Amino acid sequence: MAFTMKQMSLIVATMGILSFLFGVIAENKKPPSGTPIAGKDVVICKYPSDPTVLFGSLSVAFLVASSVAGYISLFYPYKGKSIPQSALFHSTTFIVFFNIALFWTGLAATFLLWPTITEHLHLTRNVHHDLSTECPTAKTGLLGGGAFFSLDSSLFWLVALMLANNAREDYFGEADSKDEGNADDLLVMDTKGESLFPVV
């Protein structure tokens, strides 16, 4: 199935928005702490229903999907025409936004993965030998920040896609003009193989 640039941009934007929404929900649903229950030389932390790990994981998954779709969309052969990477990276503006998109994706992944993994460890390792433990949860604010970074990441991929589209138009426009120039140089030949006059 061939994709258009509009379809690819919709995929990138939709995945980015879903990642943002799941990240915000994960942040809002995260409990502030668990309840310590004293046992024999241990403290068992009992946590309320906590969907943070699920929603955080979904946010990361949609971030990855948005970023992969964003990367592929830059080099995808729209209308069967592929553009060399050198033509894309010839533009300084494209290089800047491409690197910003990569950086923002990494930043978003860090901010989403760190609290998600931490929360998972708190829930699974809930028996503590430190009797003074207060049953903490993942650091507050990281998931929300990661959600916004994820949304920003998809926006930067879309900007890079617009710049790639400009580069494609310039590249294929120059290629078409070169082809027209070659056609103008053709000569009409007579039956003896001698040129009569150039084609105008």
What is the reported pLDDT for 1?
A: 63
Residue labelled with tokens 């919709």: 10
Q: What is the predicted pLDDT for the residue at 81?
A: 84
Q: What is the pLDDT along the chain (200 residues), one digit of tens a residue?
A: 678 889 999 999 999 999 999 999 999 989 888 888 887 888 888 888 888 999 999 999 999 999 999 999 998 888 888 888 888 888 889 999 999 999 999 999 999 999 999 999 988 888 888 777 888 888 889 999 999 999 999 999 999 999 999 888 888 776 555 554 444 444 444 445 454 444 44
SS3 letters across 117-168 = HHHHHHHHCCEECCCCCCCECCCCCHHHHHHHHHHHHHHHHHHHHHHHHHHH
Whether this model's pTM surpasses 0.85: no
180: its two tokens: 């027209």
- pLDDT, residue 196, reads 43
User: Torsion-angle region of residue 80: left (phi > 0), alpha (psi -120 to 50) or beta?
Assistant: left
**Total number of domains in the chain:** 1
Residue 35's Cβ-side half-sphere holds a number of Cα atoms within 13 Å equal to: 6
Domain that holds residue 63: 5-198
